[in-house]
Amino acid sequence: MNIDKKITHDLVANDISFVTTVPCKQLAGVIEEIDNHDEIFHIPSNKEDEGMGLCAGAWMGGKRPAIIMQNTAIGVTINTLATLIQYYRMPLPMLISYRGELREPVACQVEMAVHTKALLAQMNIPTYHFHKQSDVEELDMILKYTFMCNKPVAILTDANFWGGYGDQ
Protein backbone atom coordinates (compact mmCIF):
# COMPACT_ATOMS: atom_id res chain seq x y z
CA MET A 1 0.00 0.00 0.00
CA ASN A 2 1.48 3.41 -0.86
CA ILE A 3 1.63 6.06 1.87
CA ASP A 4 -1.25 8.15 0.48
CA LYS A 5 -3.52 5.10 0.61
CA LYS A 6 -2.17 4.01 4.01
CA ILE A 7 -2.78 7.47 5.55
CA THR A 8 -6.31 7.65 4.15
CA HIS A 9 -7.00 4.08 5.27
CA ASP A 10 -5.94 4.95 8.83
CA LEU A 11 -8.12 8.09 8.86
CA VAL A 12 -11.16 6.07 7.79
CA ALA A 13 -10.35 3.21 10.19
CA ASN A 14 -10.30 5.75 13.03
CA ASP A 15 -13.73 7.07 12.03
CA ILE A 16 -12.40 10.43 10.84
CA SER A 17 -15.12 11.70 8.53
CA PHE A 18 -14.49 15.47 8.27
CA VAL A 19 -11.21 16.64 6.79
CA THR A 20 -10.20 20.17 5.90
CA THR A 21 -7.13 20.93 3.83
CA VAL A 22 -4.88 23.72 2.71
CA PRO A 23 -2.80 22.06 0.02
CA CYS A 24 0.90 21.37 -0.40
CA LYS A 25 2.65 19.68 -3.28
CA GLN A 26 3.70 16.90 -0.92
CA LEU A 27 0.14 16.42 0.29
CA ALA A 28 -1.49 16.37 -3.17
CA GLY A 29 -1.62 12.57 -3.32
CA VAL A 30 -3.25 12.10 0.06
CA ILE A 31 -5.78 14.88 -0.64
CA GLU A 32 -6.68 13.16 -3.92
CA GLU A 33 -7.05 9.86 -2.11
CA ILE A 34 -9.34 11.48 0.47
CA ASP A 35 -11.50 12.78 -2.36
CA ASN A 36 -11.86 9.17 -3.56
CA HIS A 37 -13.41 8.16 -0.22
CA ASP A 38 -17.11 8.80 0.34
CA GLU A 39 -16.67 8.12 4.06
CA ILE A 40 -14.79 11.42 4.38
CA PHE A 41 -16.35 14.84 3.83
CA HIS A 42 -13.56 16.99 2.42
CA ILE A 43 -13.89 20.75 2.81
CA PRO A 44 -10.99 22.82 1.50
CA SER A 45 -10.33 25.90 3.64
CA ASN A 46 -8.68 29.11 2.55
CA LYS A 47 -6.67 29.62 5.71
CA GLU A 48 -5.71 27.16 8.42
CA ASP A 49 -7.32 29.00 11.34
CA GLU A 50 -10.58 28.97 9.40
CA GLY A 51 -10.04 25.23 8.93
CA MET A 52 -9.61 24.71 12.67
CA GLY A 53 -12.89 26.55 13.27
CA LEU A 54 -14.61 24.18 10.85
CA CYS A 55 -13.05 21.21 12.64
CA ALA A 56 -14.17 22.49 16.06
CA GLY A 57 -17.73 22.79 14.78
CA ALA A 58 -17.67 19.35 13.17
CA TRP A 59 -16.35 17.80 16.40
CA MET A 60 -19.18 19.34 18.43
CA GLY A 61 -21.59 18.09 15.76
CA GLY A 62 -20.46 14.51 16.31
CA LYS A 63 -17.84 13.98 13.61
CA ARG A 64 -14.16 13.23 14.11
CA PRO A 65 -12.17 15.90 12.26
CA ALA A 66 -8.63 16.27 10.94
CA ILE A 67 -6.70 19.10 9.30
CA ILE A 68 -4.07 18.72 6.60
CA MET A 69 -1.75 21.70 6.14
CA GLN A 70 1.83 22.95 5.82
CA ASN A 71 4.06 23.76 8.79
CA THR A 72 3.97 27.47 7.90
CA ALA A 73 0.40 27.28 9.21
CA ILE A 74 1.70 26.88 12.76
CA GLY A 75 2.52 30.56 12.49
CA VAL A 76 -1.06 31.28 11.42
CA THR A 77 -2.88 29.17 13.99
CA ILE A 78 -1.17 29.72 17.38
CA ASN A 79 -4.07 31.79 18.72
CA THR A 80 -6.71 29.36 17.43
CA LEU A 81 -4.85 26.38 18.90
CA ALA A 82 -4.55 28.09 22.30
CA THR A 83 -7.97 29.75 22.64
CA LEU A 84 -10.21 27.30 20.78
CA ILE A 85 -8.79 23.80 20.33
CA GLN A 86 -6.82 23.62 23.60
CA TYR A 87 -8.98 25.92 25.75
CA TYR A 88 -12.18 23.96 24.99
CA ARG A 89 -10.22 20.67 25.01
CA MET A 90 -10.92 19.32 21.55
CA PRO A 91 -9.06 16.59 19.66
CA LEU A 92 -7.46 17.57 16.37
CA PRO A 93 -5.01 15.47 14.38
CA MET A 94 -2.87 17.80 12.26
CA LEU A 95 -1.17 16.08 9.32
CA ILE A 96 1.52 18.59 8.44
CA SER A 97 3.77 18.85 5.43
CA TYR A 98 7.11 19.72 7.05
CA ARG A 99 8.61 22.04 4.49
CA GLY A 100 12.13 23.37 4.90
CA GLU A 101 13.67 20.08 6.02
CA LEU A 102 16.24 17.85 4.25
CA ARG A 103 15.80 17.79 0.44
CA GLU A 104 13.95 21.14 0.49
CA PRO A 105 14.65 23.18 -2.66
CA VAL A 106 13.12 26.51 -1.50
CA ALA A 107 15.30 28.42 0.98
CA CYS A 108 12.51 30.51 2.48
CA GLN A 109 10.74 27.35 3.67
CA VAL A 110 13.63 26.77 6.08
CA GLU A 111 12.80 30.03 7.88
CA MET A 112 9.59 28.53 9.34
CA ALA A 113 11.01 25.01 9.56
CA VAL A 114 13.52 26.15 12.19
CA HIS A 115 10.67 27.47 14.36
CA THR A 116 8.21 24.64 13.82
CA LYS A 117 9.20 22.20 16.55
CA ALA A 118 10.00 24.99 19.02
CA LEU A 119 6.54 26.50 18.58
CA LEU A 120 4.82 23.12 18.92
CA ALA A 121 6.88 22.40 22.04
CA GLN A 122 6.04 25.81 23.49
CA MET A 123 2.35 24.99 22.94
CA ASN A 124 2.72 21.58 24.65
CA ILE A 125 1.41 19.93 21.49
CA PRO A 126 2.39 16.25 21.17
CA THR A 127 4.54 16.10 18.03
CA TYR A 128 5.63 13.21 15.81
CA HIS A 129 8.07 13.50 12.93
CA PHE A 130 7.78 11.11 9.96
CA HIS A 131 11.16 11.00 8.19
CA LYS A 132 11.18 7.49 6.70
CA GLN A 133 8.30 5.83 4.91
CA SER A 134 8.09 3.13 7.57
CA ASP A 135 7.26 5.84 10.15
CA VAL A 136 3.72 5.85 8.74
CA GLU A 137 3.14 2.62 10.68
CA GLU A 138 2.68 4.79 13.81
CA LEU A 139 -0.15 6.87 12.34
CA ASP A 140 -2.93 4.57 13.54
CA MET A 141 -1.61 4.74 17.12
CA ILE A 142 -1.18 8.53 16.92
CA LEU A 143 -4.79 8.98 15.80
CA LYS A 144 -6.06 6.77 18.64
CA TYR A 145 -3.88 8.75 21.07
CA THR A 146 -5.30 12.06 19.78
CA PHE A 147 -8.92 11.06 20.40
CA MET A 148 -7.98 9.48 23.73
CA CYS A 149 -6.47 12.68 25.14
CA ASN A 150 -8.62 15.32 23.34
CA LYS A 151 -5.65 17.43 22.28
CA PRO A 152 -4.30 18.81 19.05
CA VAL A 153 -1.50 16.50 17.89
CA ALA A 154 1.04 17.33 15.17
CA ILE A 155 2.35 14.81 12.65
CA LEU A 156 5.22 16.43 10.78
CA THR A 157 5.94 14.72 7.45
CA ASP A 158 9.12 15.83 5.71
CA ALA A 159 10.29 15.61 2.10
CA ASN A 160 12.30 12.46 2.76
CA PHE A 161 9.14 10.76 4.01
CA TRP A 162 7.29 11.73 0.82
CA GLY A 163 10.17 10.61 -1.40
CA GLY A 164 11.75 13.97 -2.20
CA TYR A 165 10.94 16.57 -4.79
CA GLY A 166 12.17 14.75 -7.87
CA ASP A 167 14.57 16.75 -10.04
CA GLN A 168 13.95 20.22 -8.57
Partner 1 sequence: MIRSEILKEIAPILRDQLVVCNIGIPSQELHAIDDQPTNFYMLGTMGLSSSIGLGLALAQDKTVISIDGDGSVLTNLCTLPTIANNVADNYILMIIDNGSYGSTGDQPTYTGKKTSLAGMARAAGCDNVVEVMDVDTGPALEKAIAEQKMTVMVVKCDSGNAKMPVITMDPVVIKDRFMKAVTA
- List of residues contacting partner 1 (CB under 8 A): 18, 41, 43-47, 49-63, 65, 79-80, 82-84, 87-90
Min dist. Cβ of residue 98 to partner 1 (A): 24
For the CB of residue 77, give the shortest distance to partner 1 in the complex, in Å. Answer: 10
Q: How far is the CB of 95 from partner 1 (least distance, A)?
A: 18
Q: Least separation, in Å, of the C-beta of 67 and partner 1?
A: 11
Phi, psi of 79 (to 5 degrees): -65, -40
Question: Of the two residues 28 and 43, which places its CB atom closer to partner 1 in the complex?
Answer: 43
**Cβ closer to partner 1: 82 or 110?**
82
Task: Using the minimum distance from each CB to partner 1, give the nearer residue, 86 or 160.
Answer: 86
Our CB check for partner 1 shows the closer of 50 and 140 to be 50
